Each structure stands twice: as structure tokens, then as C-alpha cells.
Amino acid sequence: MLSSIKSAIHYDRKNLDNKTLLQLYKTMLKPRLIEEKMLILLRQGKVSKWFSGIGQEAISVGVTMALQSDEYILPMHRNLGVFTTREIPLQRLFSQWQGKANGFTKGRDRSFHFGTQEYHIVGMISHLGPQLGVADGIALASKLKNKNQVTAVFTGEGGTSEGDFHEALNVAAVWQLPVIFCIENNGYGLSTPTSEQYFCKDLADRGKGYGIDSFILDGNNILEVYGKVLKLAESVRKRPRPILIEFKTFRMRGHEEASGTKYVPTELIKEWEAKDPINNYRNYLFNLGVLTTAQDNQFQSTIKAEIDVALQAASAEETIKADESVELNDVYAEFDYQHVEPKSNSEDIRFIDAISQGLRQSMKRHRDLVIMGQDIAEYGGAFKITEGFVAEFGKERVRNTPICESAIVETAMGLSIAGMKAIVEMQFADFVSSGFNPIVNYLAKSHYRWNEKADVVIRMPCGAGVAAGPFHSQTNEAWFTKTPGLKVVYPAFPYDAKGLLNTAINDPNPVLFFEHKALYRSIRQDVPTDYFTIPFGKAALLKEGNDITIITYGAGVHWALDTLSKNEDVKADLIDLRTLQPLDSEAIFNSVKKTGRAIILQEDSMFGGIASDLSAMLMEQCFEYLDAPVKRVASMETPIPFINQLEDQYLAKGKFEAALRAVLAY
């Protein structure tokens, strides 16, 4: 097998010295030998799932070797070579794959689904595409801090069909971000051949459409990969800009080991077997006289011994013991809340002004805070909340974005990974659906999965009552209260809006911050002019009475206040939740235990809304104290209609008074 046959790959060492040539060889050999071991372990049932990168090692290794060790790499599921080239101790890798505590996810996620700041690797989520936008954010941080660093991110050719790919490339191009986008075109996405994945000749051609320089490289040729990426990285460090590289390669094994390769023509496998990146390079080094058989044997036995020792050590580690409190404690990053008491000077301002003030003061306090959103710069945003911000903080920190909600949320995540803070303004909360995946899967789960915070606030101008129809009126907080890992804030007054927004920005966790549009210009209040904060998880008791507990938030608070002002005989505890996650359940239970009756008012349609959960919680915790069934009042189970008569009918507001009376009369 190790004969000096002619290489199927043309190598050109250029000015690389022998040491580097050998280093590249050894670095490719390691992931291959680990993989060969993994295949045995799989057969023995000692590993649950394995995505093989056999035959693709030159890409992972070449790219990683070409980057500096403190430059971020965002690999995918076939990039074992990235992890080994960064010299992560093998024992930790095996622990990760065995779901041991010494791994990177404490048994919470499998295979390559982890990142590590120590090694500047940001692992994937299963959804593939979001990695690309996260790379944008890391690169943006590098550019803003003049670090002259490049970020490399991987995708398969299948992943390039996802919207994330297109959004990420577009954002990187518009902002000239120093990202090297690496497409590993290995012929198949699961069982789908390239002919059913895309219609252009080469994926590199797509670069042109985004104004990005692109290249096609032989992904099986380590010297071509390493040499070219080395050069490109050097150039990108000097002149930040995105680069797109399509590496032509082949997936030699099944999508994952259990799935086989029946759908792949045998000739194709044979053709690519002849182009194996390691065998060919080994032969090249033999022919060159740089590597001897004895040396090769020694390399192999050293690596194999290292693998065996690491594997034994990982296997000897204790298995994880399930402990609810340990799991629950890791969902959110620790937040050391610093209370800033409001000073006495205050002014009467609108809800919208309070948000604007909070943002402005937080921008001054946090030099690393960046706001991104559509039309938020010179134009001041759809609601003019960031008017004047560009003049005060500059365009680098107040960034107009393309209409790329997913990539911008991902970019925010990348900024956080690189140690910055980000706010994303959704133009309307409705449009968050276009950035939903990274919020609920990337931001929400990062801390639990690999201890990485997502220091991002997503501002959500939401709500109905403005005759704006189904796509500019939704209050979609329930999409997020459902997802562990997110915090959800929903103020009803200017004072709370400012204080809670400041807290949201200080909090290292992802916060969905709902701002009701109908309150923006209609609700005024005396608000301290200086900076202050309000803690999360503390509801406000706006009115006190013994007849009934009204629980609500957002516009619902104002509907309830209106109703109570017209029904002065009703003596109610009125609870404004202010934050939905964390939830002040203690305030709710205490009040209901006192009043014996509860009505929950929410603007969203009924089913699956937070009112349902609150009702269930009350049944579980306060049943013996209740004198009447808990009542939920919510909007109709339809999309939100546009014209006033229909919108009025739709909204819970009109049903509240009668429902309140009914519970009292029960």
C-alpha cells in the first residue's frame, strides 16, 4: 500500500520546507487514524453516531493550519481535523463523544455540536446554515476592534441551499467582513447528489452575485489548500473582506455510519479513492524523499498509542449522573444584576422616548454595544427610536442591515462570542419569524450546550390596535416563552421600559424585549432622566383589592386599568407581570391566595399562550384557595385582521369586562 506509485494529485511544494511538509502529513494522519478507531468503536456500540470526514481531511487540516491559533474557526460535522489540528486533548474529544462530564457539553449534545473558547472553535448546531452568520459576527467584532484577524467557517454544499448561506454572504459582502467561507463540496447531502441540490456549475460562482472573490480548490490536495488559504488569510487580515472557496472533494462514507452509501455509484467511489488526500500525499513525500517508511510507521504508532491512551482514560471516566438542579442551573448564564437606583430628577416622557433614552444611555455605558436593524441609522428606524444615534455613536455601532433577519441574529451571536454586546431591532416583531431559527436554537441553547453566553437583546415592536393587519400586529411572545434559555420582557409603562431595557442590555443572556407599538406614543409617565435599572422577575402590583386578582402585561395592563376605572366597585389586585421569563410566580400565588379569584388577560390569541400556563400553575398551586375557576381572556383564534371593526372584535380588550364580572359573580 505504501509503494511509490505516481500520485493522482499534482503537488507543488513551492517554498515550503520539509518540516512543514511533514507537519501537514502528521496533522492529516491524526484525524484519519481517530476515524478508523471510531469505526471500530461504532461496530462495538461504543459510540452513538459518527459523521465521517474520511477523504476530506486536507480541507480541515489545511484551513486550520493556515490560520493563527487565536483566529476563530466554525466547523461542521465532518471537520474532525479542525479539532485535532487545534490540539484539543484527545481524551476530551472522546469524553465528548461518550457524553462524559469531561467533554465539552457535559453529555448534553453529541458529536461535533460544541464549541470551545479556549481553542477558538465555535461548533455547529444541527441546522447547519446558522454557522455562517455567526462567523459574520465574529468577523465584525474583529473589524470593529481592528484586530486584523480572519474567521473561517465551513458548510457542505447541501448547506449552501439554506437561506442562511445567502444572507450570511450578503451581509459579509455589504459590511466587507473578514470571513473565509469554505464550502466542502463532497458530492452528496445525505443521499441528495449535487445535481438535485443546485443548478449552477460551480458553487464558487455564487460569490460573484454577492460581490465576493471566490476560488475553486482541489480539496484533496493539502498543499493547494494550505498554500492558498495561507495567502488569502494574510491578504484578508490586511484588507478585511469576505472570500468564498469551494473545495472539491468527496464523501467517501455514508452520511453517517448507519446510513450506508448504496445510492453512490461504485465507479464514483473508486475514482475518488484514487484521489485519497492522505495516501497520495504520503506517496508524494516518499517520492520526494522527505518521508521514509520507518518514519511513517513511527508517526502512525505514536498517534495510535495516543488514541488508545486517551480512549482508555475517557472510557474510565465516570458516567454522568442526572441531577435536575445541575441541568436547570446551566440553562442561563449567571447574571450579576447590579441595581442602579433611579435619581430623583425625572421628566414626563412617552413610552417611545423611554426606550430611546435607555438605549442611548446604555450605548454610552457599554462601549462594546452595537445596535443593528433595518433603517435604524440615518433614518432613525421605523419608529424613530434611534434617531440621532448615528451622529452620537457612529455608523459602526449603529448599523443599518440588509433584510436578513436570520443572518443578523446570527451576527449578534457572533459579536457576543467575540466578547461584544448586541441589540437587534426587529422592524416589526412579526418579522422575527424570519430570524426564528437562530433565536430558539442557537442563542437559546448555547449556554446549556457549551457554556457560551448569548449577550443579545432583540427588540420587538409588537401588538395590535393600530389597524395594521396580520403581519404588523402580532404579539408573539408565546413563541419564545416556550423556549428555555430565552428571557422575555414585556413592559407596559415608560418607566419600566427604560429600566428593564437597561437590565436586558446588561444581562448576558438572550432577551426578547417586547415594545407595544400602541403604547409608544399614547402612554406617558414621569421617568428618571438618568440611567437606572429594574430587576427581572419582579411583577408590579398596580392596584390592591381583595375581590379578585387580575394578571396581565403589555397593552393588557392598560385595558385592565380602563376597565377598573369604569367599575370602581371592583376591588382587585392588578398584577403587571413586566417579565414573562423569569416569571414572578410568587407574586401571582400570593395574590390569588388572598383574593381567591383570578382572571388572566392576554392580547395574544388563547391557545398556547402564557395565560394557559398561568392558569395551570394556579390550579396546581392555589386550588384550595380558589372560589371560582381561573378565567383566561384572550383574543380570537384567527390571524389579526386589519380593519377597525374586525380588529376590535378580534382583541381580548372588548371581552374583558364581562369576563371579569362573570368571575366575580361565580
Active site residues per annotation: 472
Nearer to ligand TPP, 130 or 499 (CB): 130
Q: Out of 65, 128, 204, 376, which residue is the one contacting ligand TPP (CB under 6 A)?
A: 128
> Prior bond to 582 cis, omega within 30?
yes
Smallest separation, CB 158 to ligand TPP (Å): 3
Smallest separation, CB 40 to ligand TPP (Å): 22
Select the span of 33-41, 125-133, 220-228, 378-386 touching ligand TPP (CB under 6 A).
125-133
Residue 248 as a binder of ligand TPP (CB under 6 A): the answer is no
Nearest residue relative to ligand TPP (C-beta): 156
The neighbouring-strand residues paired with 74 are 153
Rounded Cα distance, 32 and 29, in Å: 5
- The residues, any chain, with a CB within 8 Å of residue 404's CB and separated by 6 or more, are 133, 167, 168, 170, 171
Nearer to ligand TPP, 450 or 531 (CB): 450
- Cell numbers 407595544 label which residue? 516
Rounded Cα distance, 520 and 510, in Å: 23
Select the span of 122-130, 235-243, 289-297, 425-433 touching ligand TPP (CB under 6 A).
122-130
Beta strands in 171-221 (DSSP E): 179-185, 188-189, 192-193, 213-218
Q: What is 82-124 written as a DSSP string?
A: HHHHTT--HHHHHHHHTT-TTSSSTTSS-TT---BGGGTB---
Cβ atoms of residues 202 and 240 within 8 Å: no
Residue 481 as a binder of ligand TPP (CB under 6 A): the answer is no
Residue 2 as a binder of ligand TPP (CB under 6 A): the answer is no
DSSP code for 568? T
Sheet strand arrangement including 631-635: 540-543, 572-576, 548-552, 598-605, 631-635
Q: Interface residues for ligand TPP in 92-121 (CB under 6 A)?
A: none
Residue 258 as a binder of ligand TPP (CB under 6 A): the answer is no
Smallest separation, CB 76 to ligand TPP (Å): 6
- Cell numbers 424613530 label which residue? 384
Smallest separation, CB 638 to ligand TPP (Å): 30
Rounded Cα distance, 374 and 86, in Å: 38
Q: Out of 120, 206, 251, 597, which residue is the one contacting ligand TPP (CB under 6 A)?
A: 251
Classify residue 294 by burial, with Cβ atoms within 10 Å: 0-12, 13-18, 19+.
Answer: exposed
Rounded Cα distance, 432 and 66, in Å: 37
The neighbouring-strand residues paired with 540 are 576
Of 227, 219, 221, 220, the residue nearest 245 (C-alpha): 219
Nearer to ligand TPP, 38 or 577 (CB): 38
Smallest separation, CB 524 to ligand TPP (Å): 45
Q: Out of 30, 32, 37, 78, which residue is the one contacting ligand TPP (CB under 6 A)?
A: 78
Rounded Cα distance, 503 and 362, in Å: 9
Q: Interface residues for ligand TPP in 387-446 (CB under 6 A)?
A: none
Select the span of 19-27, 83-91, 123-131, 616-624 touching ligand TPP (CB under 6 A).
123-131
Alpha helices in 256-374 (DSSP H): 266-273, 277-288, 293-316, 324-329, 351-365
Decide: helix, strand or coil at residue 402.
coil
For residue 612, the one-letter residue type is: S
Q: Out of 48, 68, 69, 126, which residue is the one contacting ligand TPP (CB under 6 A)?
A: 126
Smallest separation, CB 487 to ligand TPP (Å): 25
Smallest separation, CB 186 to ligand TPP (Å): 5
Select the span of 126-134, 343-351, 374-382, 468-476 touching ligand TPP (CB under 6 A).
126-134
**Cell numbers standing for residue 387:** 434617531
Rounded Cα distance, 337 and 532, in Å: 12
Residue 259 as a binder of ligand TPP (CB under 6 A): the answer is no
Rounded Cα distance, 320 and 316, in Å: 12
Smallest separation, CB 364 to ligand TPP (Å): 40
Smallest separation, CB 251 to ligand TPP (Å): 5
Strands 151-156 and 73-74: parallel
The neighbouring-strand residues paired with 552 are 576
Smallest separation, CB 104 to ligand TPP (Å): 19
Rounded Cα distance, 29 and 247, in Å: 19
H/E run at residue 331 = none
The neighbouring-strand residues paired with 167 are none
For residue 591, the one-letter residue type is: S
- Cell numbers 449522573 label which residue? 321
Nearer to ligand TPP, 189 or 491 (CB): 189
**Cell numbers standing for residue 463:** 401588538
H/E run at residue 548 = strand 548-552
Size of the site for ligand TPP (CB under 6 A): 14
Nearer to ligand TPP, 249 or 283 (CB): 249
- Cell numbers 426564528 label which residue? 436
Q: Interface residues for ligand TPP in 178-207 (CB under 6 A)?
A: 186, 188-190
Smallest separation, CB 185 to ligand TPP (Å): 8
User: Within a 10 A sphere around the Cβ of 364, how many other Cβ atoms?
Assistant: 12
Smallest separation, CB 160 to ligand TPP (Å): 7
Residue 312 as a binder of ligand TPP (CB under 6 A): the answer is no
Spell out, one character per residue from 132 to 171, where the chain touches ligand TPP: x when CB under 6 A holds, - when not: ------------------------xxxx------------
Rounded Cα distance, 571 and 584, in Å: 22
- The residues, any chain, with a CB within 8 Å of residue 595's CB and separated by 6 or more, are 545, 546, 547, 548, 549, 572, 573
Nearer to ligand TPP, 125 or 363 (CB): 125
Nearer to ligand TPP, 157 or 246 (CB): 157
Q: Interface residues with ligand TPP (CB under 6 A)?
A: 78, 126-128, 156-159, 186, 188-190, 251, 255
